């Protein structure tokens, strides 16, 4: 298979990505064979807000990194030890690289696998500090630990019919769901979602699946707020000059919600007339203000240990000014970290296949070619109310 050509989206410094020829993947990990891996022909691979942080130069991502951790593909080669995944299967790849053998994987915490990253717990494809795994914004990619990791779609024809929904299973749908689940969303809950980007919209749909009575999505981008409103959410324009409690009270009649989700992360801006001023902890502080005493906050939004583009020296090293005393006084719970995508994939797949979760419509999917990936990054960075899905082989048309 190594005679095949391959191309991928490569990070070339702040603000720049190129589509370049890259090596065709091999069933190898360094100098040893990867008998438990497979090679995929990539069917869809999505641009994520986490990718955008790197491309903006807000992480320590090295130049030359092949991007992409949201991967859906067709198996074209299996390693010797792969038993249950077959050539021709269409599969979703959880963005967490996980071995299935370590103690954290065995308890279901695949987002903090101990064996896939030499620097710290947890690995991911095409992402800074996450083990050096080659990303999947490419024509072909290698996936290790295939029997453990891959979610095989039960019917190939059905999978292709719903591919623009199923492609969200690799990351943002499980991530949004995890944020809501860990925030304690239950039937009848009132929920605040910070951010109307793709993860925030996925969280909003997840809150609805979990039975929330009212889902409020806050953002400063009117087109993204309209997208949230399109499937029954309350859109909250954060450019208004009022406290967060007042804004919530204007919708609910009371100044608090049952639970909240931070789908923004460290590149957050203040609300109100200072909305162009970056303040990394503003969403965390807002959720503490508006969440009921004893409530929970899910934090799937990304926070980093090093931010070269931060406005203060403290923030450059991941130190942000949280009002933690407020959260302590209110006996609140916070759940952070990447999402163990495998924990939710199968259930969410079933919701998609049975027409319970039109997630592609909710996040406003826009398919683009591999060659148009740089344009997709630029549009996303400009605030487009779309989720860009790359079609590397032109198979979706």
pTM of the model: 0.96
Q: CA–CA separation, 365 vs 52, rounded Å?
A: 17
Q: CA–CA separation, 217 vs 221, rounded Å?
A: 11
The angle, 0 to 180 degrees and rounded to 10, between the axes of the packed helices 282-290 and 244-252 is 50
* Residue 373, pLDDT score: 98
* Residue 1, pLDDT score: 47
Cross-strand bridge partners of residue 124: 96
Q: CA–CA separation, 314 vs 306, rounded Å?
A: 10
* Residue 31, pLDDT score: 87
* Residue 214, pLDDT score: 98
Over the chain (397 residues), the average pLDDT of each successive run of 10 is 82 96 96 96 97 93 97 98 98 98 98 96 96 97 98 97 98 98 98 97 98 98 97 97 96 98 91 77 96 98 90 88 94 97 98 98 98 97 96 92
Q: CA–CA separation, 122 vs 59, rounded Å?
A: 17
Nearest residue to 206 via CA among 179, 188, 225: 179
Map tokens 């009132």 to a residue.
Answer: 190
Q: What is the largest CA-CA distance in the chain?
A: 64
> Are the CB atoms for 269 and 194 separated by under 8 Å?
no
- Domains, the chain, in order of start with CATH, read 7-171+339-391 (3.90.180.10), 173-335 (3.40.50.720)
């Amino acid at each position: 298979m190594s005679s095949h050509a391959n191309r991928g989206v490569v990070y070339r410094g702040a603000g720049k990505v190129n589509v370049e020829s890259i090596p065709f993947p091999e069933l190898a990990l360094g100098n040893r064979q990867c008998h438990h891996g497979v090679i995929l022909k990539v069917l869809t691979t999505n641009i994520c807000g986490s990718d955008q942080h790197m491309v903006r130069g807000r992480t320590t991502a090295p130049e030359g990194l092949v991007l992409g951790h949201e991967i859906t593909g067709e198996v074209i080669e299996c390693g010797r030890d792969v038993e249950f995944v077959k050539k021709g299967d269409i599969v979703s790849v959880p963005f967490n690289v996980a071995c299935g053998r370590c103690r954290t994987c065995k308890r279901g915490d695949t987002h903090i696998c101990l064996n896939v990253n030499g620097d710290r717990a947890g690995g991911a494809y095409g992402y800074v500090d996450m083990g050096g795994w080659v990303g999947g914004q490419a024509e072909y990619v290698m996936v290790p630990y295939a029997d453990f990791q891959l979610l095989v779609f039960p019917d190939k024809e059905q999978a292709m019919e719903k591919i623009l929904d199923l492609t969200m299973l690799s990351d943002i749908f499980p991530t949004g769901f995890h944020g809501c689940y860990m925030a304690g969303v239950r039937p009848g809950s009132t929920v605040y979602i910070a951010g109307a980007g793709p993860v925030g919209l996925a969280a909003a749909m997840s809150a609805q699946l979990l039975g929330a009575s009212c889902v409020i999505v806050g953002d400063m981008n009117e087109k993204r707020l309209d997208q949230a409103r399109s499937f029954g959410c309350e859109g909250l324009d954060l450019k208004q000059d009022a406290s967060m409690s007042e804004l919530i009270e204007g919708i609910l009649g009371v100044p608090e919600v049952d639970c909240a989700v931070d789908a923004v992360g460290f590149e957050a801006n203040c609300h109100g007339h200072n909305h162009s001023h970056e303040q990394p902890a503003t969403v965390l502080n807002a959720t503490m203000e508006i969440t009921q005493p004893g409530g929970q906050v899910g934090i799937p939004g990304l926070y980093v240990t090093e931010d070269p583009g931060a406005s203060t020296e403290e923030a450059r090293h991941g130190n942000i000014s949280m009002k933690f005393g407020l959260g302590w006084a209110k006996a609140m719970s916070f759940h952070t970290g990447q999402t163990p995508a495998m924990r939710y994939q199968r259930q969410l797949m079933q919701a998609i296949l049975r027409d319970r979760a039109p997630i592609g419509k909710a996040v406003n999917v826009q398919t683009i070619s591999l060659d148009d990936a740089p344009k997709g990054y630029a549009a996303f960075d400009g605030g487009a109310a779309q989720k860009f899905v790359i079609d590397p082989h032109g198979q979706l048309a």
